[in-house]
A = this chain, B = another copy of it.
Amino acid sequence: MTYQIDFEPVGRRGNYPASQSLLEIARQLGVDLISICGGEGTCGRCKVKGLNGKASPITSAEREVFTPHELREGYRLACQTFPGSDIKVYVPPKSLSTPQRTQVEGLEIHARPNPLVYTYKIQSLPPSLSDPRADAARLLETLNQQYGLDCYSIDFSVLRDLSPNLRAWNWRARVSLRGGELVALSPQSSCQLGLAVDLGTTKVAGYLLDLQSGRTLASKGIMNPQIAYGEDVIGRIARTRESLADAKRMQELAVEALNQLAAELCAEVNAIPQEIVEAVVVGNTAMHHLLLRLPVQQLARAPYVPAVSDALDVKARDVGLDIAAGAYVHLLPNIAGFVGSDHVAMLLATEAWKAKEVVLALDIGTNTEIALVSKGEIASVSCASGPAFEGAHIKHGMRAAAGAIEHLRLVDDRLQYHTIAGTPPVGFCGSGILDTLAQLYLNGVLDKNGRMGEHARARTYEGQREFILISEEERDGAPAITITQHDVRQLQLAKGAIRTGIQALLQAKGHAEEEIKQVIIAGAFGSYIDVSSAVTIGMLPSLPLNRFRQVGNAAGTGARLALVSRNKRAEAQKIARRVRYIELASLPDFQRLFVQAMYLG
């Protein structure tokens, strides 16, 4: 007797006996559910939700992990659950190993579609000696008459192909209007797509939407190819100063990435990029400027001012983006040299800016932006947290790929961990690094100063203290996987930078930590971390865990909202105007705050 087990939204299914747990079945189907306790029901990682069908009874281990509400909603631990019928299982992104997440997940968007671009089908009579109107005039007059519009402007690039196109399509077409301007002309069968992009320093997330319904049709994340010119924005800005050719090349790389994203997203839905009639891009100010080939030198020098902070509407062709001939790219407003439109988009998507209570919202990345919302005001800071949490400059740090330890617990001198794809460990990625730091601190291996003490797994190697996660023996003679004293210092600097920002905001607004009613954590890295580890090391304030909300790529969600709704664009403007930017470096007690924030715990 076997049952059909169907894992969604990954879409893998197969037939299995009632004797296998959902965790075991998932493994066989290649669904990389996280589990670090080895199926004992103690780590609480392998959360899934039964959408229908019958299963084994709820266990005591599950009653420990879930609230009664969650149990009523159908949540289970996969390792504790055995099928009792055909069953459809929903796997939340958090339960999946990092690479199986798309890097683009975010909040669902719930905005009534009200896009800037609307589409109309038209059919006109062909010209004749008795009606020799110009092709453009014929098109516009037909359109205006048929729909009671008042459109008298056609984008120049659209004009260039209008005459042969109308003839090829037998005088039937679909036109896309943006305000009073005709920005695209296409066959009647074409779609009306929008592209939303979160252009990050490290990663680029793209979303393809149907502008009429507001639905997300496809989404995808790729690396930012500019990374070859520097891991962080300061490095890249320095390169533009050294070489004009590099500056130009960096812009090209960013645009090529966007064009690649557009092409791949369209391929998924059998469309072509020329059906994209509007794009929205968000990103930090440096990425924004580099994409548009705006000057960036002044961003890196006090007083760190952007070339432009207002929202922009730029012809896609002026940027090099290869979508519909006359389409625009809309760029949400920036706030300051190091607080960009991605921050605005995050506040827009999470609606944190509307909060009546005290809300802290962070977008953790190579650069971390933090906003504190209180009393109808928004104060924001920017922290140079660096790429340590992404594995850079950490001896055994690595990107989220097969063999990366992504979750870890230390029980006495015994390690429990989960590697991506379940393959033998080769290093650790961001969330694993954070867990390691927290576990070493909790187990007294690290003191408050971050100094590494004695432990069965600690040693001095090549003149430096280090803690052995996987020994040479366990790796069959390959070098041990360790975390070094130097690694710990790097991570302290990173977490200290973030905590300094939080404290500076609280101080500026006169709030105590406990007054924060909600902490919103956005960004790919922030979404995958174990919040309790982040609290343990003192990166985040010590608050009840239920006040934290991990929202995934909220900047990408904000971009999607701005894509489908002009009201949301107006809101973004409001947010940008309302934010008060605080320059951390100019605070008189910055040094004191930072030293304080470096302590663990």
Contacts and interface: CB of A to CB of B under 8 A. Distances in A.
Interface of A: 127-129, 131-138, 152, 154, 156-157, 159-164, 167, 292-295, 297-298, 302-310, 312, 314-315, 318, 334, 336-337, 581, 583, 586
B132 A337 contact: yes
A134 B583 contact: no
A336 B129 CA distance: 11
Given A160-B294, A163-B297, A297-B163, A303 B134 contact: no
A31 to B, nearest CB: 47
27 contacts: A129-B302, A132-B304, A132-B337, A132-B583, A133-B309, A134-B308, A134-B310, A134-B334, A135-B306, A135-B307, A136-B308, A137-B308, A137-B309, A137-B310, A154-B308, A156-B292, A156-B314, A156-B315, A157-B318, A159-B292, A159-B307, A159-B308, A160-B292, A162-B295, A162-B308, A163-B295, A163-B297
Contacts of A304: 132
Given A129-B302, A292-B156, A586-B129, A309 B136 contact: yes
Contacts of A133: 305, 309
A403 to B, nearest CB: 45
Among A156, A312, A315, find the residue whose CB has the most chain B CB atoms closer than 10 A: A156
Contacts of A314: 156
Given A135-B305, A162-B295, 15 more contacts: A127-B305, A128-B303, A132-B583, A134-B307, A135-B307, A136-B308, A136-B310, A137-B308, A138-B305, A156-B318, A157-B318, A160-B293, A163-B298, A163-B307, A167-B298
A302 B137 CA distance: 17
A156 B321 CA distance: 15
Contacts of A157: 318
B164 A297 contact: yes
Chief secondary structure at chain A's binding surface: mixed
Contacts of A138: 305
Contacts of A293: 160
The 7 closest A-B pairs by CB, nearest first: A134-B309, A136-B308, A163-B295, A134-B306, A163-B307, A129-B303, A132-B303
A137 B308 CA distance: 7
A406 to B, nearest CB: 39
B297 A127 contact: no
B306 A581 contact: no
Nearest to A315: B156
A164 B154 CA distance: 34
A133 B292 CA distance: 19
Contact of A581 (B132, B154, B318): B132
A159 B296 CA distance: 12
Contacts of A132: 303-305, 336-337, 581, 583
A338 to B, nearest CB: 10
A242 B491 CA distance: 66
A291 to B, nearest CB: 12
Contacts of A303: 127-129, 131-132
Contacts of A152: 310
Contacts of A308: 134-137, 154, 159, 162
